[in-house]
A and B are shown apart, each in its own frame.
Chain A
Amino acid sequence: MPTVVLMDVSLSMTRPVSLDGIEEFQRKNLAVHGLNMLFEHMASNYRLEFTSLMAFSSLWELLVPFTRDYNALQEALSNLEDYDKTCVEAALNGVSNVVQQEWGSYHHTSVFIVVLVTDGSLGIGKGSLRHSLQTLKQRGDDKKFPLPFPFPTKLFIMCIANAEELQMTDAMDNLEELLRLSGGDGQIFTMEGPLCMKSVQTMFGKLIDLVYSPFHAVLHCGNLSSDVQVFPRPEPVVMDEEVEPMPRTVSTDLEIVGFIEIADIASPPVISRHLVLPIAVNKDVDEVGTGTTDELEEEPSASQMAGKSPNFCVLLHGSLKVEGMVALVQLGPEWYGMLYSQADSKKKSNLMMSLFDPGPEPLPWLGKISHLGPISEAADNPYGEDDSKSPFPVQPQVKRSYAQNVTVWIKASGLQTDVQKILRNARKLPDKTQTFYKELNRLRKAALAFGFWELLKGVADLLERECTMLPDSAHPDAAFQLSHAAQQLKLASTGDSQYAAFDHNIVPMHTDFSS
């Protein structure tokens, strides 16, 4: 979930914050303080996040392109200059451009977080947010308002102002409209109490808790386990707002249920992908090898120590990679995902977790997950003794239309093909007796269902004609079968329940030419 920080550097941000007696700040200083806090937090707890920093006034500028270098972001913050008036629309166009240039057009698999930091004075005249929103409906295609973005977005508006101040003007209404236009996902934060370092910290603290708090969990495989961070944070999910309005959240205990071959899981659809990074929660967990290493080397750093103590994630990752398997993992009640090894182009490899749609049966070809059991319970190993078989995919009870030779005559060609097939086989009687009757019965069934009795009569006529055109060399059985079939079709076309039953089949006439 890459982040774009959009920092208002208009003149109004330089308004001083009146604090009796104490040192004087500008709103900009507060904003920078809050962002510094955010970046510091991300550097230590959420460092895989790509973040970019943009400044805007009536123009916009990309100060730091998407990066994980939080020092660079903080340095750019310290060099901010002051410009003219606020123009949110231009800045949002900038966000759209920057994101699409960096991540490609129409990115749809990742949510982008836009953190708009402003004092809530949203410009004046043309280019002001008020003006932008008022003229929303009077725009041509070339000048569309940038929201909603062509990629999934969460918009967080950090106001260096209190709610009361914003409500005195229409600023809050306009910001709410902005949030609504962005798709409604996100939040407006305002400062509580006096504008000071402490209240700005509180406000950014809330953003951090909501969006950037690392997701820690324990990955279990029976008694083996590992503390992990799941990155990015798995988001709560709502499957059906009406039946189950409460969002489902991923449990902090991730329990492996069992293992499945990559070929069997077959590139399943997932709602999100996450890195599963082992973390050392207790620095003093393991003392393996300390007896031998400590005399020569210096005191090893905590991370070196953690690197040296065996971790279940590394073991799991190694074996998943070697065996070409995935681990099925339970994320909560009736919610599952899979763990697998993912290698990037640089041959770096990682343990990844993908989340399936919540529900008891996210992948039809596995059946209900709760009904997957250990192979040891089966009488014979369902994978075969030499791994030559697989119990997957699970077959559906009813075949789909394309797998069961259905009859569709919507296009004339469909009907013509079916009739021709019967005639072709009719000319090869008695060799093709079985196929002839199979095709005949297929046509008969469809004609009866569609109430298409005229066709039955027509085909009966055709068969009778074929009968008269049989060459002298024809087998005598051909004539018998043709007239028998024609007669049966004619009887069916009367709708007489004795002959027109759907499940009835015309059977070949019993003849004996063996003597």
Chain B
Amino acid sequence: MLFPDREALPSQVFHQICKMKMFSVAHKTVFVVDHCPYMAESSRQQVECDVLTKSRAQGVIPLAPVSKSLWTCAVECSMEYCRILYDIYPKDKLVNYIVSDSEFHILNSWRREDQSTHELMSALAAVGPPNPREDPECCSILHGLVAAVESLCKITELQHEKRIALMDTAERVANRGRIICLTNAKSDTHVRMLEDCIQETIIEQNKLAAGSDRLMAIQQCELVLVHIYPQGEDTLVSDRPKKEISPLLTSEVHSVRAGRHLATKLNILVQQHFDLASTTITNIPMKEEQHANTSANYDVELLHHRDAHLEFFKSGDLHMAGTSTRENGLKETVTLKWCTPRTNSIELHYCTGAYRISPTDVNSRPSSCLTNFLLNGRSVLLEQPRKSGSKVISHMLSSHGGEIFLHVLNSNRSTLEDPPSISEGCGGRVTDYRITDFGEFMRENRLTPVSESSHDPSGKLPAERAKAQLERHTRYWPMIISQTTIFNMQAVVPLANLIVKETLTDEDVLTCQKTVYNLVDMERKNDPLPISTVGSRGKGPKRDEQYRIMWNELETLVKTHAGATDRHQRVLDCIIACRSKPPEEEDRKKRGRKREEREDRTEKNGNKEMDDKSWQDSERLKGLMDKDEQESEVIKDSPDSPEPLNKKPRLTSEEIQPPERSKGPVSLLTMWSNRITAVNSRKHQEFFGRASSVNNKFELYQHLKDENGMDVHENGKATR
């Protein structure tokens, strides 16, 4: 019985990213190329390399055409295979190149640094062409094939990393691979002998691998045997599609003439092996070399991961999408039309995939024109020809850091269309957001790549440090203009920018102090402050009130950073010392003993460091001020100094929410609410009950108690 109720499998509902497995056979490819004497034979495909121009042709005997050997054909086609592979998969699709004659020669390893065509070309140059005079009896492709199986057992860096990362589920790391053997086989029987030998070697090597950490048993091996024979000869080996030799080994045989047939074959194979597809960009306008003022249209064929055609595959009708079948009937390409780019406008396209490309004909003139155009930073939109004649932009070619990608653009109708605008939702009706300031904040919190080698002593990764910076920068960050005074004041900017830093220099502290002195100076001169009058009746708070609000806010900002370093603390100390006399003192003088008691209690209850510290600090500072803080003395004695504050009893931010205070560091919300409440409280006479409450509680209907002489209720909670 299947699952009668499929709830047992809720994981059925997930998005499957449609890509090949990390450790599919494509992870490891071993090229085994025959280096035996017969590979030195000519392919008999001649290349005329002395192309004489008409003007010089007279009297000159052209050079005889050259012809490539079977070896040269095999090497250049395998290099082309690798070139395409490395272009499209620069990482973790690995090639191990082995050459076989009287022994095997391993030209590179699975290591990432060995994975480049340059490395391979260099090693191939050292090998050179086969020596036709070598004893054919000693030479065999078998040496290379055995080495290939051994190599497949060797663990790659990625396999190693993943095994370590997966720990107890390390067995999920599979070991599969492919052997592409380029050889000249003698007969079908010979091919069968090679297959048997590989099968035996796999079994042998798997036994060895079982007992080793650096080796892995092969779970699946795909042999692709390409028999190469010279032009004009009949093949002695027949083509054979993929068949299973054993659960571990499949094998297929391709019998191909050397030269361009071999090149076409390997091009098809690389596409099959790595899920590639072909796109031909048509109508690319290019200046003619000879006639600079005319332009002709060219086509360029690109290879890329086939998912870039996902939409066409889904449609099940590739022809509709402009596919053309090539003359050989094997190769298909999707045609997309070049759309001449308009201005270089920066747009965020909805892109569902981006795939690296490799031109099939990399050094042809149209190809290099297109790739150079893109590498210079231009993007090109591509149009999908439709029968209806409607224009659909379906793809975009664009380079990023020297790599060209084919982006797939969404051409579907959006299923998210017509959503309610953000202005209709939460916070949508607020109009005075600090958009510009937050923009500045974002620019300061832009990211940059940090080299992996630069290690931070904190052990935090750069992205974690970026988040830590965001945390510091947002400890006090009012979102709307009417909620802040200091961030509307140019004079505060130097301090506000510096105080959020992780560490301050002495110079920074000095700048902060200067900012504070400057504010003191402004206060003395009675300069107006940009206090919001939104929501308040009349002219808003008086000048001295304004300064008190400003100082409170500045103190709030700096307090959130004061714990970071001594230098941060020094900035706070400076503010506390320089600002107009904290209202607490005045309040205390005016209020009765009740309040003193309450504060004492709160102080005792307060158990979190930060609050305690700031309290103690302010107490300590009050002491200091009385003694020898010269600047504050000067201010106090100055004729410009503000009128004594607090003509009527009012709440300070500390008073309103004692429960929060005792919980720990003040939250942003609390700070705002406190400030807003403080602002509001000034607009009306304080309720008698709240003003003389104990612990924010006040007994209602006390007169009843007095009158009746009995306890009617518990203390009711004073409500706001």
Enumerate chain B residues within 8 angstroms of A211, measured Cβ to Cβ. 13
Known: A243-B173, A503-B122. A344 touches B400 (CB 8 A): no
Beta-carbon contacts under 8 Å, B122-161 to A: 122, 124-130
A395 — nearest CB in chain B belongs to which residue?
Answer: B401
Decide: B401 and A450 in contact? CB cutoff 8 A: no
**A392 close to chain B: CB less than 8 A:** yes
Q: How far is the CA of A147 from the CA of B236 in the complex (A)?
A: 46
A313 contacts the other chain (CB 8 A): yes
Question: Within 8 Å of chain B (Cβ to Cβ): is A486?
Answer: no
A455 at the B interface (CB under 8 A): yes
Query: How many A residues touch B, CB cutoff 8 Å?
Result: 187
Q: A314-B426, A462-B50 are in contact. Are A391 and B449 (CB under 8 A)?
A: yes
Q: Are A414 and B430 in contact (CB under 8 A)?
A: no
**Interface flags, B341-354, vs A, CB<8A=1, else 0:** 00000111111111
Chain B residues in 8 Å Cβ range of A495: 128-129
- The answer for the CA separation of A16 and B461 in the assembled complex, in Å, is 65
Contact B444 A375 (CB under 8 A): yes
- Interface residues in B415-465 by Cβ distance below 8 A to A read 415-430, 433-436, 438-439, 441-452, 461-465
**A371 x B23 contact (CB < 8 A):** no
Which residues in B have their C-beta under 8 angstroms from that of A280?
A: 426
| B338 vs chain A, min Cβ distance (A) | 17
Complex interface bits, A72-108 against B, C-beta within 8 A gives 1, otherwise 0:
0000000000000000000000000000001111111
Contacts of B568 in A (CB 8 A): none
Closest to B479 in A: A310
Are the CB atoms of B10 and A104 closer together than 8 Å?
A: no
Question: Distance in Å from the Cβ of B396 to the closest Cβ of chain A?
Answer: 7
Please indicate the chain B residues that have their CB under 8 angstroms from the CB of A368 in the complex: 452
Q: Flag whether B49 is at the interface (Cβ < 8 A).
A: yes
A151 close to B669 (CB less than 8 A) = no
Q: Which residue of A176, A224, A231 contacts B474 across the interface (Cβ within 8 Å)?
A: A224
**Does B76 belong to the interface (CB within 8 Å)?**
yes
Query: Which B residues are in CB contact (< 8 Å) with A319?
Result: 435-436, 438-439, 441-442
Please tell me if B253 contacts chain A, counting CB pairs below 8 Å. Answer: no
Is there a chain A Cβ closer than 8 Å to B206's Cβ?
no
A400 engages B87 (CB within 8 Å): yes
Query: Is B314 located at the chain interface by the 8 A CB criterion?
Result: yes
Chain B interface residue count, CB cutoff 8 Å, equals 166
What A residues does B13 contact at CB under 8 A?
154, 185-187, 210-211, 235-236
Cβ contact of B462, chosen from A286, A350, A370, cutoff 8 A? A370
Within 8 Å of chain B (Cβ to Cβ): is A11? no
Contact B126 A308 (CB under 8 A): no
Q: A103: which B residues are within 8 A, CB to CB?
A: 412-413, 415
Q: A323 an interface residue at 8 Å Cβ cutoff?
A: yes
A residues in contact with B657, CB < 8 Å: none
Pairwise interchain contact B352-A269, C-beta atoms closer than 8 A: yes
Report yes or no: A176 in contact with B467, Cβ–Cβ below 8 A: no
Q: A373 at the A/B interface (Cβ < 8 Å)? A: yes
Asked, given contacts A108-B412, A402-B359, whether A272 binds B447 with beta carbons under 8 Å apart, the answer is no
CB of B448 within 8 A of CB of A378, answer yes
Q: A103-B412, A243-B173 are in contact. Are A374 and B350 (CB under 8 A)?
A: no
Rounded to whole angstroms, the CA-CA distance of A161 and B438 in the bound complex is 57
B479 x A224 contact (CB < 8 A): yes
Shortest distance in angstroms between A407's beta carbon and chain B's nearest beta carbon?
Answer: 7
In the complex, are the beta carbons of A451 and B72 less than 8 A apart?
A: yes
Which residues of B have CB within 8 Å of A186?
12-13
Which residues of chain A come closer than 8 Å to B310, judged between CB atoms? 108
Which stretch of B61-69, B591-599, B606-614 is in the interface?
B61-69
- In the complex, whether B548 has a CB less than 8 A from a CB of chain A is no
Check: B339 CB closer than 8 A to any chain A CB.
no
Stretch touching chain A among B78-86, B192-200, B517-525: B78-86
Among all A-B residue pairs, the 9 with the closest Cβ atoms: A311-B427, A373-B462, A451-B129, A393-B401, A222-B474, A365-B400, A502-B125, A222-B470, A449-B121
Q: Can you name 18 A-B pairs with beta carbons within 8 Å?
A: A110-B415, A210-B13, A223-B475, A237-B16, A258-B470, A263-B346, A307-B424, A313-B427, A354-B350, A374-B466, A401-B84, A401-B87, A407-B363, A408-B362, A414-B364, A419-B50, A459-B49, A462-B63
Apart from the given pairs A372-B466, A401-B87, 11 other A-B contacts in the complex at a CB distance below 8 Å: A184-B12, A222-B470, A267-B347, A306-B425, A313-B425, A314-B427, A374-B465, A401-B117, A410-B260, A451-B124, A455-B66
